[in-house]
Amino acid sequence: MPARPRPALRNRVEYLLASFVLLTLRRTPLAIANPLGHGYAKVLDTVLPRLRAAAMRNLEMALPEMNVDERKRTVDGVYRSIGRVLVSFARFPDIDAKSISDWICYDGFEHFEEARRRGRGVLFATGHLGNWELSAFAHALLCAPMHVVVRPLDNPLIDALVERRRALSGNRIIAKKDFARSILTALHRNEAVGILVDQNAGLDHGTFVDFFGIPACSGTSFARIAAHSGAAVLPGFAIWHESEQRYRLKFYPLLEMSGDVVEDTRRLQAVVERAVREHPEQWLWIHRRWKTRPPSESGRYA
């Protein structure tokens, strides 16, 4: 059955709240905006306790060596990371080529140069680690605009607001519901396309590969497009460095694809897992990554 339309009043109220959050984080001095962003994230934690419950369950499954206190501290770090993402996103209209280095710098840019030299396009494999919004926004200012594949948000008013901000640095948005042809066209022009690869997929669009030693239903579209296009696959994540008080957009060595969709999907998830293990407090553990299960297996969440 088709999903019921969202009430217009709900969409409007949510939009006004989102606009208020972005406005306050943009207009206040950064010394105030940073703790304010953390405060907004803590409000999210309070009003939606199921998110923390999901994160604790995820950590229990993925990192069983952690005790309860360590899991709590990791989830606290996740909400601090969300606060930083909110602050930077709110200030996109004020960030330009002159000021972007105050927010982020490159690490491993030679891997991107190698990918571009191959001449068949660049597929950025990234995830909800660190600041995925700033990584694409910054790359357009530091190097060249790219294409970003996104899933439209449920609230169309907030979706339009978010898309406008994402495009401010020159990036082009590709809607996930109609993306294959647009991606292939961009890759044919030797352009870059960024895709989030760390989300739970449905049985009709995914395959089960290990993620932290647990079978996780993972989308196969990325691997299929890589095989069809011959594009270079470049893993990259924008990681917060406390000592520098800014992010590093770290590009990893190119990931060679085999052409086997299941094997290549496994390789992608393994790269994400290694990066998350390095910075567990910056990954979005509140997402129910292991929600989809094989038909013979019961659910892993209450």
pLDDT in tens, 103-140: 999 999 999 999 999 999 999 999 999 999 999 999 99
What pTM was computed for the model?
Answer: 0.95
* Residue 168 reports pLDDT greater than 80: yes
Task: Give the pLDDT confidence score for residue 296 in this predicted structure.
Answer: 87
Task: Give the pLDDT confidence score for residue 16 in this predicted structure.
Answer: 98
Q: Counting Cβ atoms within 10 Å, is residue 284 exposed (0-12), middle (13-18) or buried (19+)?
A: buried
- Residue 277 to residues 34, 100, 204, 282, Cα–Cα distance (Å): 25, 27, 29, 10
pLDDT digits (tens, 9 = 90+) for 238-284: 999 999 999 999 999 999 999 999 999 999 999 999 999 999 999 99
Q: What is the pLDDT averaged over residues 144-157? A: 95
Confidence of residue 3 (pLDDT cuts 50, 70, 90): low
Task: Give the pLDDT confidence score for residue 2 in this predicted structure.
Answer: 55
